[in-house]
Amino acid sequence: MALRDRPGIAKKTRQRVLEEAEICGYRPDPMLSALAAYRQNKKPPTYHGHLAWLYDHPTFDAFLSRPLFRQYYEGACRRAEELGFKVEPYSLREMPPARLSSILDARGVQGLMVAPLERPATSLSMRWDLFSSVAFGFSLAWPRLHTISSAQYRIALAATRRLHELGHRRVGVFRSRSYDQRTDRNFTAGFLSGSMEVPAACRIPPLTINDEDPEPAISAEIKKWIVRSRVETVLCSSGLHPLVSGAGFSIPEDVAVALIGCPNNSPGFAGMDENSFRTGTLAVEHLVVMIQRGERGVPEIPSDLLVEGTWIDGGSAPAKPGPPRPCRPVKSPRAAA
């Protein structure tokens, strides 16, 4: 237990055991470790304790109302149960982080999962030295923990390329300012990289909308952008496509639409499934390994574990018949005048 840095072993005892092991030249045998893991997997799971799910939304129901986040949580709960753990949600709004840390430690919680946070660039002052911890996505700016996320850049790049393969040329993306920040601008970067693979005349600058604006104002801004830039196909995150209809466009007759996130929650829509359930299971697997190894605190060199997406065909972005049409440059308002 001392060699695995398990809690409950006195610090001096642990250090003495580690020193003796180093003197003796002890190294873990990978074959024995594999055998132990095999035997453990053959046994019915026994209860090992709780894993804390930290969220900062007004309520847990508000958090679960986001399909992407719900799938994270459901995937984590499923895998935790299989490994003998139970996931318990804890609100970051109800008490100071130091107080919450003390409560979790007193309850014997060894692992923390920081769910996607409402605001980008958030700092969180937990007693990280007491726990093994991972974070979902990039909304937690400090401290930098091991991160589990969808492969956001590659997903946006793959979606843009797939739309090009289907004959869509004038593809534009819009996203909210906070969403762009929470994802570390990975989706925007992936879209821009994909856009470099079509002629310059086909490239459309991304549109950034303000989350705090009323919906009619946002729809009006989207309409202006679609008309001015002659957008033929819109790429946006799941849940934002009603803004296109709200701007007065019929899908896909006027404008095709592809979603990033959970297109399965919008029947008939094409897009990239981020495989969020799998992301939740991987988060638990990584966290349990950290607990077993005794890895607690803020990592000196954080790592990212990324999950690839899967394209889903749908009637909202059908294949274009015939060869791709050439793109004509869009004149600036001043030039048009």
Over residues 316-328, the pLDDT tens digits come to: 999 998 776 677 6
Query: d(Cα 101, Cα 130) in Å, to the nearest integer?
Result: 8
Residue 17, pLDDT score: 60
Give domain limits for the chain: 1-29, 46-144+277-308, 152-274+312-324
pLDDT tens-digit profile of 42-60? Answer: 555 677 899 999 999 999 9
CA 18 – CA 199 distance, rounded (Å): 61
Under a CB-based contact definition with an 8 Å cutoff, are residues 312 and 254 in contact? no
Task: State the Cα–Cα distance between residues 107 and 101, nearest whole angstrom.
Answer: 10
User: Could you give the C-alpha distances from 278 to 56, 126, 145, 290, in angstroms and in order?
Assistant: 22, 27, 19, 18
User: What are the φ/ψ torsions at residue 135 (nearest 5 degrees)?
Assistant: -125, 145
pLDDT digits over 116-134, tens only?
Answer: 999 999 999 999 999 999 9
152-274+312-324, which class in CATH?
alpha beta
- Give the model's confidence band at 337: pLDDT under 50 very low, under 70 low, under 90 confident, else very high: very low
Q: What is the pLDDT of residues 274-291, one digit of tens each?
A: 999 999 999 999 999 999
Alpha-carbon distances of 180 from 119, 157, 200, 201, 236, rounded to whole Å: 11, 15, 24, 25, 11
- Name the CATH code of domain 46-144+277-308 (choices 3.30.70.360, 3.40.50.970, 3.10.180.10, 3.40.50.2300): 3.40.50.2300
- Sequence length of the chain is 337
| Domain pair 46-144+277-308 / 152-274+312-324, same fold | yes
Residue 234 and residue 207 in contact, taking contact as beta carbons nearer than 8 Å? no
pLDDT: is 43 or 310 the higher one? 310
Cα 224 to chain centroid distance, Å, stands at 30
Q: Would the pTM of this model clear 0.95, i.e. be above it?
A: no
Q: What are the two backbone dihedrals, phi and then psi, of residue 165, each rounded to the nearest 5 degrees?
A: -60, -30
